[in-house]
Amino acid sequence: MASSIIDPSIQKQLVVPGTILTNDTSNFMRGHGTYSDTTRNHLKASIAGVVNKVDRLLCVEPIENTRYLGEVGHVVIGRVLKVDQSRWVVDIQSRLDAYLPLASVNLPGGENRRRIEDDERNMRQYLKEGDLFSAEIQQIYQDGTLALQTRNLRYGKLGEGILVHVRSSLVKRTKNHFHSLPCGASVIRGCNGSIWICPPASTSSDTNSVDTGGYVKNIESVSIDVRKTIVRLSNCIRILNQLGLQIFDTSIMDIYELSSDYEIDDLIQPKIIQTISKHLQQQKGIINGGGEVSGGNGVDPYSHHMKEE
What are φ and ψ of residue 189, in 5° steps? -95, 105
Question: Who contacts 8 (Cβ-Cβ below 8 Å, separation ≥6)?
Answer: none
Q: Is 289 in the site for another protein (CB under 8 A)?
A: no
What are 247's strand-pairing partners? 171
Q: Are 31 and 59 a contacting pair, CB within 8 Å?
A: yes
Q: Are 177 and 156 a contacting pair, CB within 8 Å?
A: no
Measured from the CB of residue 217, what is the shortest distance to another protein in angstroms?
Answer: 28
- Nearer of residues 93 and 149 to another protein, judged by Cβ: 93
Other Cβ atoms closer than 10 A to 174: 15
Q: Is 82 in the site for another protein (CB under 8 A)?
A: no
Q: Which of 253, 259, 247, 280 is nearest to 181 (CA)?
A: 253
Q: Which stretch binds another protein (CB under 8 A): 120-128, 193-201, 224-232, 298-306?
A: 298-306
Q: Is 44 in the site for another protein (CB under 8 A)?
A: yes
Length of the chain: 309
Q: Is 281 in the site for another protein (CB under 8 A)?
A: no
Measured from the CB of residue 205, what is the shortest distance to another protein in angstroms?
Answer: 34
What are φ and ψ of residue 68, in 5° steps? -75, 135
Q: Is 299 in the site for another protein (CB under 8 A)?
A: yes
Q: What is the rounded CA–CA span in Å between residue 272 and residue 262?
A: 8
Element (H, E) at 202: none
Q: Is 277 in the site for another protein (CB under 8 A)?
A: no
Q: Are 49 and 33 a contacting pair, CB within 8 Å?
A: yes
What are φ and ψ of residue 95, in 5° steps? -65, -40
Measured from the CB of residue 302, what is the shortest distance to another protein in angstroms?
Answer: 9
Helix (H/G/I), strand (E/B), else coil: 221: coil
User: Which residue in the set 63, 219, 224, 286 belongs to the binding site for another protein (CB under 8 A)?
Assistant: 63
User: Which residue in the set 182, 289, 290, 298 belongs to the binding site for another protein (CB under 8 A)?
Assistant: 298
Q: Is 96 in the site for another protein (CB under 8 A)?
A: yes
Q: Which stretch binds another protein (CB under 8 A): 44-52, 146-154, 201-209, 225-233?
A: 44-52
Site for another protein in 100-159 (CB under 8 A): 143-145
The CA R_g of the chain, rounded to the nearest whole Å, is 23
User: Which residue in the set 6, 25, 30, 35 belongs to the binding site for another protein (CB under 8 A)?
Assistant: 35
Q: Is 65 in the site for another protein (CB under 8 A)?
A: yes
Q: Is 18 in the site for another protein (CB under 8 A)?
A: yes
- Nearer of residues 46 and 212 to another protein, judged by Cβ: 46
What are 140's strand-pairing partners? 146
Site for another protein in 219-258 (CB under 8 A): 244-245
Burial 26-54 (b: 16+ CB within 10 A, else e): eebeebebbeeeeeeebbbbeeebebbbe
Residues contacting another protein: total by CB under 8 A: 38
What are φ and ψ of residue 89, in 5° steps? -100, 125
- Nearer of residues 3 and 176 to another protein, judged by Cβ: 3
- Nearer of residues 231 and 299 to another protein, judged by Cβ: 299
Residue 173-212 contact track with another protein, rule CB under 8 A, x = bound = ----------------------------------------
Q: Which residues bind another protein (CB under 8 A)?
A: 1-4, 12, 14, 16-20, 33, 35, 37, 44, 46-50, 62-67, 95-97, 143-145, 244-245, 296, 298-300
